[in-house]
Structure 1
Amino acid sequence: MGQARDRVNYSFKRLKEIPEELRPREKLLKLGPENLSDEELLAVILGSGSKGADVLSLSKELIKMGWEELEKKSVEELLKVRGLGLVKALQVKALVELSKRFKGGKSRISIRNPQEAFEFLKDKFDERRESLIALYLDLSNRLLDWEVVAIGNVNTVFSKPKDILFKAVKLSANGIIIAHNHPQGEPSPSNEDLNFTERLKKACELLGFELLDHLILSEGRYFSFREEGVL
């Protein structure tokens, strides 16, 4: 039998027990974020702990809960975590919400006017055929989601209001912007465009949604029903 060795301890260390150069901030600066554990990354965001718990112990406790559980918890419930005060509970909720918005690749951009809608939409259409796109916005005019609702031939695109409203209900959207392109010709509304917009507006009102605008795009230009006073 060899000489007895000191017991190796894999338990989680408190921040003050870690050499300064290996603490989360210093480690991030020297080695990059990919070399930090989840607890260390959260510790960098939280910045400091409290009298009851240092930042690494606090981060470990939060990570152990899991992201889905943190998403469900209210600020009041988070305050029950030992060492987590109001400011840090709000930081955690803000971080979880930000992560949720970026998840899936569709960041929550804001679309507050026809120009911003045009900038978002201008590269979403197939120039060879007419398509109808719907944007779904929340109360703060942030984009919840968007989809191609219908595809037609060179000159026409057909859809029914229910094709647009089904997803609005699913997303609990507040406002809807629709847009279609004119592959050939001016970005001005036809009688069919006007009639469809009126039908959709009435359907939106019945279900408590707001039809914010209808844009027609063609050759780098756009026509906004809202801007022109048609809607």
Structure 2
Amino acid sequence: MERQTGQLASDGDRDAGFSLIEVLIALVLIAMMTSILTSAIGQLRKIGEVNQKLVLQQEADTLADQIVFDLQTPFRRPLLVATSAGKQVVFRGSGDAIEFVAAVRTGFKSLGVRQVRYDIIDNGGRLSLRRRLMPYRPAVGSEASDVVSTHIDMIQFQYLGDKETVWRTNWDAANQLPAGLRFSLILEEEKIKAAATRQIWLPHVSLSMILPDLDHCGLQTVFYSSYCQ
């Protein structure tokens, strides 16, 4: 008798076929889950980078506003360590540093006359922006110095004279404050950058008008506070 063709697969063959299909389905599901997890991780990483960018941008804006705040009350007074014979320098600036005399906040309600300097320093192999406050009375008090940012990548100052139309990269005019100042700064952390730019016009404030007794002791009450600190 001839053997019949097209015979149905045995139960063992069917079981083996179903097992192979199940393995293929499992592999497809694993691939889909891996793709979903990879996408989710990528989204979380992007969200983390966005949050880090926002935090760094907030720091950049706060730092820029702090510099602007210190420049709100500049006084035309000779710098303590920058005055040479025959030339009184009241404001000194370069591309990455500025130095001037101003009334700055020294406490919650206190203002004090200080020689202020912002400059870039090497802070353990990392560039940092430093803010130095020197009491405007030699040999009295102590100098304060704070690192205001450890994420600084670049800061650039420019200056404009009273009757000038072109911005300078430095300023050391005798007995003269710049009429305008603008600066840009860039912070960087883990390859994420944030920038801030400010431009201000400096008010020419007379120190004798605000502090008429400065030569005596520098004491004046302003906003329930003392400059003599």
Whose helix fraction is larger, Structure 1's or Structure 2's?
1
How does the TM-score come out when normalised to structure 2? Answer: 0.24
Whose strand fraction is larger, Structure 1's or Structure 2's?
2
Greater length-normalized contact order (CA 8 Å, ≥ 6 residues apart): 2
